[in-house]
Homo-oligomer: A and B are copies of this chain.
Amino acid sequence: MAEKSRLSLNQITTANWSVAEAADGCARHGVLSIALWRHKIQEAGLARSVRAVKDAGVHVSSVCRGGMFPATTPAERARNIDDNFRAADEAAALNADSLVMVVGGCANIGLDEARKMVADGVAALVPYARDRGVRIGLEPLHPMYAAERSVLVTIGQALELAKDYDAREVGVVLDTFHIWWDPQVEKLIEQAAGRIYGFHVSDWLVPLPDVLMGRGLMGDGAIDNRKLRLLVEKAGYDGPIEVEIFNRAIWDADPDTVLTQVIERFEKFV
């Protein structure tokens, strides 16, 4: 059983809560960590977001998200990199464990070219992040997002991209929804030892109701979250475990009720 002390509320799970509401919610429910989304940070303002998590006494496990590097013009790519610098500033101010990268898809660009743009984008971001003490967490997304969200789709590919950098600068963020299917998941998690910056859990609903919004609470789907948690622990990761659920019904429900369920399911299935 995973200790409740390791649970981190990824803010998207309670999508209707502001930064302050989510931070207060965590404090109220005894959840020690939170992951913040940039559109929510923007709504609140960075200074107020920093104060909110400080006042609530919660630790920031990650800022979601940087990345989205590929674009059809050099000007747009430069703007994307600049936006990643702002994301690194926010992660630094919030003292987050890492800045999570959803690297961007290949639609209108082509897979090989998009992958080059991602490598270039990460190379541009790392020195800036390093200077601010921000670690870059490369998150391989499920292959079904390759066209629209992330050409980075396997742990192996993320490690290949990370290996050019110091293990304290660039690592991987492992989300069970994205990696559970991989026939090599055991071997790859073992290889990720020393570079695991974050671990996310949720479940894969059956039938999958939607490409983006098909996640469920742990225990409601096909993923063996506990098995994967034990594998990342064996590889040395003992940090926060984020619960990150994209699901319209959960978003529309009362966030306090959702957080209560999240804690129950975390203790039972993670």
Tell me, in angstroms, the Cα distance from A184 to B182 when the chains sit together: 13
Residue from A107, A110, A143, A146 whose CB has the most chain B CB atoms within 10 Å? A143
Tell me, in angstroms, the Cα distance from A221 to B154 when the chains sit together: 22
* Residues on the B chain within 8 Å of A180, using CB: 111, 146
User: Do B153 and A181 have beta carbons less than 8 Å apart?
Assistant: yes
Q: How far is the CB of A117 from chain B (nearest CB, A)?
A: 15
User: Do B154 and A222 have beta carbons less than 8 Å apart?
Assistant: no
Tell me, in angstroms, the Cα distance from A157 to B185 when the chains sit together: 12
Within 8 A of B (CB), among A138-158: 142-144, 146-148, 151, 153-154, 156-157
Closest to A210 in B: B211
Is A233 close to B, CB under 8 A? no
Query: Given A222-B106, A222-B107, A147–B208 Cβ distance below 8 Å?
Result: yes
* Residues on the B chain within 8 Å of A151, using CB: 181
Is A204 close to B, CB under 8 A? yes
Residue from A105, A107, A221, A222 whose CB has the most chain B CB atoms within 10 Å? A222
Is A206 close to B, CB under 8 A? yes
Query: Given A106-B222, A222-B106, A224-B111, A148–B207 Cβ distance below 8 Å?
Result: yes
Partner among B105, B142, B224 whose Cβ is within 8 Å of the Cβ of A143: B142
Query: Given A143-B142, A147-B222, A222-B147, A183–B156 Cβ distance below 8 Å?
Result: yes
Within 8 A of B (CB), among A92-139: 105-107, 110-111, 115
* Residues on the B chain within 8 Å of A142, using CB: 143-144
Query: Given A180-B111, A183-B156, A147–B221 Cβ distance below 8 Å?
Result: yes
A selection of 16 A-B contacts at a CB cut-off of 8 Å is A107-B222, A111-B222, A142-B143, A142-B144, A143-B144, A144-B208, A146-B181, A147-B204, A147-B206, A147-B208, A148-B206, A148-B208, A156-B183, A156-B184, A157-B183, A160-B183
Q: A142-B143, A148-B207 are in contact. List 16 more A-B contacts (CB 8 A).
A: A105-B222, A106-B222, A110-B224, A111-B222, A115-B183, A142-B144, A143-B182, A144-B208, A147-B206, A147-B208, A147-B222, A153-B182, A156-B184, A160-B183, A207-B211, A211-B211
* A contact set with B: CB distance below 8 Å: 105-107, 110-111, 115, 142-144, 146-148, 151, 153-154, 156-157, 160, 180-184, 204, 206-208, 211, 221-222, 224
